[in-house]
Amino acid sequence: MSALRTAPLAAALVALATVAAGQTPAGGVEPTLALEPATVQPVMDQGIFAHVLFNELEGRWNGSNTEFRWEGQGWVGTDYDKLWIKSEGTLQSNGVLEDGQDQFLYSRAITTYFDLQGGLRSDLDSRPTRNWAAFGIQGLAPYFFDLEVTGFVSGEGHLAAKLEASYDLLLTQRLILQPQVELNVYSKGDPARLVGVGFSDIDTGLRLRYELSRKFAPYIGVVYEGKFGQTSKFARRASESTGDVRFVFGVRTWF
């Protein structure tokens, strides 16, 4: 290599050594290291993604009759903004559809673990349809509890609230025990839908699933469906159970 070609390299090394020693190089100008624009990678937080989860696809049996229940939700959007669809309901053995709820929501991430949500809820089943505005929060609470808290306002000014929580306890890498609870509260009774004022009902259970893959897991468990206060009175008048323990078997799947 010729002296002319090595001179610039030697000068650069001398300048860097001078700066490292705490001195200012000749000419009083400190050298700078610049990155080429092509080497700076953009933050990949604006991609469009989608996810669908059916946490409950199950039969419920109490020794005399069987019912089918589903509970699922899906979203599409970015890390910060998403559109959600949530659906749940119970199909009785006599063909009556109960507790049918469908929500259509927009969410915005407000922390690393929680989204703020707002939109519409429609009660769609064998009883009269009711529509609500919905506003709530969903995410991962401390100690890894999945938590959803939602408030509702109907067109008549009635208020309602729902709390849903669950937790995944890993017994092994594939065997998982999941406690779950759902509570509903209403500010005013709705006899046509057999819903009373105050603390209305609870659906809680314990499910043991085995993940054949991360996306498909059969499970068994036990659940309790309870109605309280005025809701239990409406249920008795309609010759319905006010409290029922059922064995469950189903699958949890997502994609």
Across all residues in the chain, what is the average pLDDT? 88
Cα torsion angle, 226, 254, 218, 210, sign: negative
Neighbours of 66 (CB within 10 A): 15
Q: What is the pLDDT of residues 50-88, one digit of tens each?
A: 999 999 999 999 988 999 999 999 999 999 999 999 999
Interatomic CA distance for residues 26 and 19, integer angstroms: 11
Interatomic CA distance for residues 135 and 118, integer angstroms: 4
Confidence of residue 211 (pLDDT cuts 50, 70, 90): very high
Quote the Cα angle for 76-97-242, to 5°: 115
Interatomic CA distance for residues 58 and 219, integer angstroms: 9
Rounded mean pLDDT of 95-118? Answer: 97
Confidence of residue 45 (pLDDT cuts 50, 70, 90): low
Amino acid 13: pLDDT: 52
Concatenating the DSSP letter of every residue in 96-116 gives -EEEEEEEEEEEEE-SSSEEE
Amino acid 190: pLDDT: 96
How many residues does the structure list for the chain?
Answer: 255
How deeply is 196 buried, as exposed, middle or buried, from its count of CB atoms within 10 A (0-12, 13-18, 19+)?
buried
Amino acid 219: pLDDT: 98
Amino acid 26: pLDDT: 52
Q: Where are the beta strands (DSSP E) in 142-210?
A: 145-154, 159-167, 169-170, 175-186, 198-210
Confidence of residue 2 (pLDDT cuts 50, 70, 90): very low
Res 34 pLDDT > 60: no
Q: What is the pLDDT of residues 107-144, one digit of tens each?
A: 999 999 999 999 999 999 999 999 999 999 999 999 99
Res 210 pLDDT > 90: yes
Distances 5 to 2, 14, 34 between C-alpha atoms, Å:
5, 15, 22
Q: What is the pLDDT of residues 151-164, one digit of tens each?
A: 999 988 899 999 99
Res 209 pLDDT > 50: yes
Give the single-character DSSP code of 37: G
Amino acid 250: pLDDT: 98
